[in-house]
Chains A and B, each alone.
Chain A
Amino acid sequence: MLLAVENLHVSYGGIRALKGISFEVEEGKIVALIGANGAGKSTTLRTICGLVRAQSGRIEYKGTVVNKVPPYKIVGMGISMVPEGRRVFTRLTVLENLEMGAYSRGSSQEAKESLANVFKRFPRLQERKSQLAGTLSGGEQQMLAMGRALMSRPQLLLMDEPSMGLAPMLVEEIFSIIREINNSGTTILLVEQNAHMALSVAGSAYVLETGEIALSGPAAEMADNPEVRKCYLGE
């Protein structure tokens, strides 16, 4: 198991955001966490990254407990995040943004190779490499955020709401890129409100409801589950 989360509790002050969730991410797969606003999806990713401290429970990555690892060290272990709302460095150029993504990789040779790979995957970013990231469109910024996360060559890519605020056509494009990234060997943990898209790419899925796992199983089964269809697929 690449990532195993066990009985994870997280609180913000008095508010209990996660009430003991457990799930697993198998190497090479896409795992989706779906759920409504405030279900605790983003909190889960932020806790894995170390941006939020867990109250109790354990997060095991490649057999190591990473609960107490500070966020700036997580990326060096092979976990990279595409944050919610993209969070690109708006006053840096596209190229500089990507270079920041390779920050944890000391060697410039590796960074160059990563850059070539990212440009191959996102030709638009190459066209716009000397442009300030803040001047990109929403879809391009999402691609930049993904490219930036890939620069560190993660084994596990955490993606927080990649479809947020994008036109339907762009959402399709982003998800086909997610599939490609996975095909080239990167494991992906995907958090989405767009359950339909998430279930279409994921191997397995977990439904989060107010800080607890309500349902889990193979994504195809979930998509057929009447309850999921009613609550999350709008039927």
Chain B
Amino acid sequence: MEGVLSILTNPYYNQVLTMMGIFLIAALGLHLITGVTGQFSFGHAAFLSIGAYSSALMTIYLHTPFFLNMLVGGLLAALFGILLGIPSMRLTGDYLGITTLGFGEIVRIVFINTKITGGAMGLGGIPKETNIAIVYILVVLTVFSLYRIQNSRFGRALAAIREDEIAAETMGINVYWYKIKAFAVGTFFAGVSGALFAHMMQYLNPSDFGFSRSFDILNFVVLGGLGSIPGTILGTAVLSLAPEFLRFVKEYRMLIYGALMILMMIFRPYGLLGNVDLVRVFRSLRSRGAGKGTVSGDS
């Protein structure tokens, strides 16, 4: 207990864990897009930046309450998610990846060249509103809502799209529209995450939201295990904490980080918890507990 308390009160650990929670929310959003629906996005950081800048500007200039700003940040990110989704969700695979990558760069360059966001100098003077409690309450809410989405009719349809678009279409799923909806929900969480980030760092710079940030978040999702919420949580935890724990090796830190990633991809190509689904785990535990291997049919 004392150990836990000291972690929470130690500013360094507190900061590391808070940042981890913030990026976990973004990663969970991407989990819905990439892990569940199977659509690769290399521009997730752009949606974080939209949420971050819009909420920060509202806080600074409109003095509206933080939670409202965060919500607006999320909704604005989702709006851009829909706008990007309309042309790009007709694309698949590599083409979609390149389009989202391009979008990410466009957003970053727009922020560099916009006056109100401070351009390349960055935007400072954002009050600190984010703390570890708020972040983890939102993490729990995010996990809960994504869990609900994933196991709904809608979520099942998204998984069917990931498995086989043509078959999904012939089942009566409007694949194009569902992909856009998944994109909107996923980018909403990116926007919320960005708002938390802004009010944690108190300073924003477009370089915080470059390609490497998008790639980091994608790594959290892929390495943990595509399609699995526990996998995304584990992936985020391992990959955000590993660089911190590896600080003692100084300049070799990123080298070891890279080697770890290669090893994981060799030995766990589907990610750490690939194919692990909370519902299925619980169901099989329950049915084992009942003594019989049967699972109730009305799921």
- Asked if B172 is at the interface (CB within 8 A of a chain A CB), the reply is yes
- Asked if A12 is at the interface (CB within 8 A of a chain B CB), the reply is no
B255 to chain A, nearest CB (A): 35
B284 — which chain A residues lie within 8 A by C-beta?
Answer: 130
- Asked if A179 is at the interface (CB within 8 A of a chain B CB), the reply is no
B285 to chain A, nearest CB (A): 13
- Determine whether the beta carbon of B157 is less than 8 Å from that of A89: no
- Determine whether the beta carbon of A89 is less than 8 Å from that of B299: no
- Determine whether the beta carbon of B163 is less than 8 Å from that of A90: yes
- Determine whether the beta carbon of A100 is less than 8 Å from that of B295: no
- Determine whether the beta carbon of A72 is less than 8 Å from that of B166: no
- Determine whether the beta carbon of A73 is less than 8 Å from that of B166: no
What is the 8 Å Cβ interface bit string for chain B, positions 154-180, against chain A (1 contact, 0 not)? 001101101110111111111100000
What is the 8 Å Cβ interface bit string for chain A, positions 164-208, against chain B (1 contact, 0 not)? 000000000000000000000000000000000000000000000
Q: A91-B159, A91-B227, A92-B159 are in contact. Are A104 and B172 (CB under 8 A)?
A: yes
- Determine whether the beta carbon of A103 is less than 8 Å from that of B170: no
- Determine whether the beta carbon of B297 is less than 8 Å from that of A51: no
Q: Please classify the interface of chain B as helix (H, G, I), strand (E, B), loop, or mixed, using the class held by over half of its residues.
A: helix
A99 — which chain B residues lie within 8 A by C-beta?
Answer: 156, 299
B275 to chain A, nearest CB (A): 7
Q: A91-B227, A129-B295 are in contact. Are A76 and B166 (CB under 8 A)?
A: no
B171 — which chain A residues lie within 8 A by C-beta?
Answer: 72, 75, 100-101, 103-104, 148, 152
- Asked if B298 is at the interface (CB within 8 A of a chain A CB), the reply is yes
Number of B interface residues, CB 8 Å?
27
A49 — which chain B residues lie within 8 A by C-beta?
Answer: 170
Q: A100-B156, A100-B160 are in contact. Are A95 and B299 (CB under 8 A)?
A: yes
B160 — which chain A residues lie within 8 A by C-beta?
Answer: 89, 92, 100, 103
Q: How far is the CA of A15 from the CA of B255 in the complex (A)?
A: 52
A contact residues vs B (CB 8 Å cutoff): 49, 51, 70-76, 80-81, 83, 87-93, 95-96, 99-101, 103-104, 112, 115, 129-130, 148, 152
Q: Which 7 A-B pairs have the closest CB atoms?
A: A104-B172, A89-B163, A87-B167, A75-B172, A71-B169, A72-B174, A130-B295
11 A/B residue pairs, CB under 8 Å, sorted by A: A72-B169, A74-B170, A83-B166, A83-B167, A83-B170, A87-B167, A90-B163, A91-B159, A103-B153, A104-B171, A148-B171
Supplied contacts A83-B166, A92-B159, 7 more A-B pairs, CB within 8 Å: A72-B175, A81-B170, A87-B164, A89-B160, A96-B159, A112-B298, A129-B297
